[in-house]
Amino acid sequence: MNPLLSVHEVSKQFGGLTAVRRVSFAVEEGEMVGIIGPNGAGKTTLFHLITGFLKPSEGDIRFRGRSIAGWKPYRISRLGITRTFQIVKPFAHLNVLQNVTVAALERSATLREATRVAEEVLEVVGLAGYRDHAAVDLPIGLKKKLELAKALATRPALLFLDEVMGGLTPGEVRDMIEVLKQVRERGVTLCMIEHVLKPIFELCPRTLVLQQGELIADGPTEEVMRRAEVVEAYLGEAISDA
């Protein structure tokens, strides 16, 4: 059996800078994988490469055995691979329901079906009570949920979350962890970049560590976090906000 996703020796160069260097890993259906590493380690770039927002300089990316390296984002999204963005960017003047409906339209046959999917997803993330609010007016915690809702509305099999906990209060982090447990229950495979380590410990049995573009660790979360090179990579970094 092919893994759901396999990344093989993928690199990305920006001029003289190698942002991602020969990274290889595979993700099986149903996994929840944490991705950590210091600022500038190449985490977001890796997500861009897998979801088609950037083309790899080298290497191959396979989804269910089929090479998708260099495909356009809309084609990759149609296969069931979706991501959230580190910087949230809803359609400011649409309301919450409309924002999620637009996302749902990508994989729905009719507006009616898209609206139904959007309503269901708003329930899952706990935004149903805000459906008529303008996206621009939401506080950051709810904007992050909206970003997650938009991603879920495309009904992904594989979802990449780029710092969905960033900027949240401890209470909002706890809340988001519960939402993500529900997302997992719905059979979505998740890969999540976080600087906040608590959600990684709670949600992800496995963690990958990137440092200066290289994958320096890949294994059980508890074990990976104890490794000297991981602790070193994080010295002076975000380990204190765990």
Ligand X SMILES: Nc1ncnc2c1ncn2[C@@H]1O[C@H](COP(=O)(O)OP(=O)(O)OP(=O)(O)O)[C@@H](O)[C@H]1O
Of the two residues 110 and 240, which places its CB atom closer to ligand X in the complex?
240
Q: Which residues form the interface with Mg ion (CB under 5 A)?
A: 43-44, 86
Closest separation in Å from C-beta 238 to ligand X: 9
Give which of ligand X, Mg ion, none residue 115 binds (C-beta under 5 to 8 Å, depending on kind): none
- Residue 192 Rama label (left phi>0; alpha psi -120 to 50; beta): beta
Give which of Mg ion, ligand X, none residue 40 binds (C-beta under 5 to 8 Å, depending on kind): ligand X
82 in Cβ contact with 53 (< 8 Å): no
> Interface with ligand X includes 56 (CB under 6 A)?
no
> Interface with ligand X includes 10 (CB under 6 A)?
no
Residue 8: how many other CB atoms lie within 10 Å: 17
97 in Cβ contact with 118 (< 8 Å): yes
Give which of Mg ion, ligand X, none residue 37 binds (C-beta under 5 to 8 Å, depending on kind): ligand X
Give which of Mg ion, ligand X, none residue 14 binds (C-beta under 5 to 8 Å, depending on kind): ligand X
> Interface with ligand X includes 42 (CB under 6 A)?
yes
CA atoms within 13 A on the CB side of 235: 6
Beta strands in the chain (DSSP E): 5-14, 17-27, 32-36, 58-63, 66-67, 81-83, 158-162, 189-193, 206-211, 214-220
Among 1, 16, 39, 109, binds ligand X (CB under 6 A): 39
Binding site for ligand X (CB under 6 A): 14, 17, 19, 37, 39-45, 86
